[in-house]
Amino acid sequence: MSVVSKEVQNLSEITDVTGELTKISKIPANPKNKAKRLFQRAAMIIFGAALMAVGLEIFLVPNGVIDGGVTGISIMASKITGYPLGIFLTLLNLPFLVIGYKQIGKTFALSTLFGIIVMSIGTALLHNVSALTPGEPLLGAIFGGVILGVGVGLVIRSGGSLDGTEIVAILVSEKTPFSVGEIVLFVNIFILGSAGFVFGWPNALYSMIAYYIAMKMIDITIEGLDQSKSVWIISEKYRDIGDALTDRLGRGVTYLEGEGGFTGESKKVIFVVITRLEEAKLKNIVEDWDPHAFVAIGNIHDVKGGRFKKKGIH
């Protein structure tokens, strides 16, 4: 067989394999699984949006306390004009939905639109319901912030959003030296400060408390109380520390090869993934074996695969 004919045969084989892979990739996902995921996402968005409506109409709005972002602007607009809050929540978020559709995707935009509609309907249904903390803006800010934060967090976990501020921040950050977080913070400080002119300055301060609590609850809802952390440890007693982490924390460890950039010496690096609740105990274990060990700890958004399960400890 000539070289040319052999190459042609190889190319034909590759084409056949590629064709099979293409056919496989076009096999549709299980409709039942897809429908199940869609139902779960919709249910989570409904529940999250309903919680936000409760936080707004039962705790925040009756006490003259607002949230940040478009929601805060909507509350002030409703107060000034007398029109229902749900109208402003829908209308003011529409431009951001269009931007989100173009910049982030169809699924995000539709999930967000669905959540905003549910939230708007919820605020309309709850508008005449008596507040649970009437005349108590501090209690309203605390409990309203908690409930609102959990609701928003559930919607974000489901691939949507209930406020368009972050979308604008993403676009602005691409053309400025400021991060998304810095832009969102600046915008919300301006919005929360504006509440002083509408509801009075004490209420503006209560609004900042509610906003801070809501942000913390969003983080907890998205990441969970047992947020994972990655840990790198460099020590001459790496074997003792590694064994102790396995015995006392029940976590498997990985030994990596490293080299000191300044000394050029070979180093063993311990890598382990733990939860935030185990961080203090890990530090104590390392301190017991090597008080001078180098320890670096970072947050992890998600952990999948491998064997991230605790072994029996003693």
Residues with Cβ < 8 Å from 33, sequence gap 6 or more? none
Round to whole Å and give the CA distance between 175 and 216: 28
Q: Is 228-299 in CATH node 3.30.70.120? A: yes
Residue 92 CA to residue 84 CA, distance in Å, equals 13
Give average pLDDT by consecutive 10-residue segment, the chain, 314 residues. 40 40 46 83 96 97 95 96 95 89 81 94 94 94 96 89 80 79 86 94 96 90 77 95 92 91 89 86 93 92 65 52
What gap in Å lies between CA 276 and CA 225, rounded to an integer? 8
Nearest to 191 by CA among 213, 170, 216, 210: 210
Q: What are the residue ranges spanned by the domains of the chain?
A: 31-223, 228-299
CB-based burial of residue 54 (10 Å sphere; 0-12 exposed, 13-18 middle, 19+ buried)? buried
pLDDT recorded at residue 310? 58
Question: Roughly what angle, to the nearest 10 degrees, separates helices 180-199 and 69-81?
Answer: 20
Q: What are phi and psi of 300, to 5 degrees?
A: -120, 130
Show the 3-state SS of 162-190: CCCHHHHHHHHHCCCCCCHHHHHHHHHHH
Q: How many Cβ atoms sit within 10 Å of the Cβ of residue 235?
A: 21
pLDDT the model gives residue 293:
95
Q: CB neighbours (10 Å) of residue 250?
A: 15
